[in-house]
A = this chain, B = another copy of it.
């Protein structure tokens, strides 16, 4: 019809046809000069083997965790679910650029259009798929604010599997909407500590009003999974197979930037356990290692939980209670309880062992941000681009804004790419606090870090 424009010369967003969903995950382990140090058994202090993990994870995921193959094919059935929301859009933030008056070109890869509103279904779906293939009838997991729990609940619904989630009591009471979302997808949700497990009952006996912790919730989910042969456990970040599944983000972004003829000068992602940051950056790091591009890659963590910028690279437990294998990672100490910032997804004492190893190799940079600066960037972004970001990616956006303003000073037209890993529709109470001027930042005195790090296990 005549009332349409022809192809515009400067598109705002690049959408790919679903035939362009990546058909393989990229395993960066294949391209590292040395492998990451292995996890150690908490008892023997010897490297953990596949047999040790078998009660909790299906064989195919254990194989992926330990694989050094460069590409791992994505099963057709997983692609078929990815199709509901993938490929995700790559958007040029023209209105934000204009509001900042920067010569930088800012691109964001938006994962908030997924069923549960974040990047988490990218790994929840294959984890559910492989479990279903190997006869698992039920998956258990823990969740804090509920991003991971809702993604796994959705994924289990695709394979007619049960899903049982232990949600930290404080969040269960204060953030009922993500709990409701898990219920819509058919999951059973317990407030943790619960009466359902020995671990939970133990905590409640000692402290009937316990508001719970991620560490306790992990213990409950693992206990139930380990006790039944057709029940297994799923984790939403930190482990290498989780990071692997997220590489669809970066693979698509490479193709989308190529459509525009752009090459990133800077890639910025927020990092808690590390899966979102890895998902965006690993495929670009492959290109960098191959000499095809040369972006600076930068992780942004909360100043209240600065594992890369102020932690130690050492073996530590993955959970607070000390039940998990020992992981060589940048850690604040497994006893470190981060202050209650709103970016619940970044409140983890350690960093993914794979990313920690790569940080030691100098493959990326890290900076830390206070949350008020992050929410300021989040509001700025929402007013310009429409999308209200989750608190986690506001960390990346704060750094994007800072870099764009540096470009304004220097006149450099840098190409900046970031991952907008989720929307903030369930986090508006935090925005409210920010807008009312009631949001607090948290400084960590060095003595507090020293005390937490003094309790690292001897290896």
Contacts and interface: CB of A to CB of B under 8 A. Distances in A.
A18 interface: yes
A426 B429 contact: no
Please tell me how many copies of the chain the complex holds: 2
A181 interface: yes
A130 interface: no
Given A114-B386, A115-B386, A429 B19 contact: no
Interface string A423-436: 10110110110010
A113 to B, nearest CB: 6
Contacts of A95: 84, 158
Interface in A168-201: 176-177, 180-181, 183-186
Contacts of A310: none
A162 interface: no
Interface in A1-34: 3-8, 11-13, 15-24
A404 to B, nearest CB: 18
Contacts of A84: 12-13, 91, 95, 385-386
A341 interface: no
A337 interface: no
Contacts of A7: 17, 19
B185 A383 contact: yes
A157 interface: yes
Interface centre among A79, A184, A431 (most CB of B within 10 A): A184
A416 to B, nearest CB: 18
A19 B6 contact: yes
Contact of A3 (B15, B73, B154, B423): B73
Interface string A146-170: 0000000010011000000000000
A285 B345 CA distance: 48
A429 B177 contact: yes
Given A115-B382, A116-B386, A177-B425, 19 more contacts: A4-B22, A7-B17, A8-B18, A8-B19, A12-B18, A12-B84, A15-B16, A84-B95, A114-B386, A115-B385, A115-B387, A121-B386, A177-B429, A180-B431, A183-B431, A183-B435, A184-B383, A184-B431, A185-B382
29 contacts: A3-B23, A3-B71, A4-B20, A4-B21, A4-B22, A5-B23, A5-B79, A6-B19, A7-B17, A7-B19, A11-B17, A12-B18, A13-B83, A15-B16, A84-B95, A84-B385, A95-B158, A113-B113, A114-B386, A115-B386, A177-B428, A177-B429, A180-B428, A184-B379, A184-B382, A184-B383, A184-B388, A185-B382, A423-B425
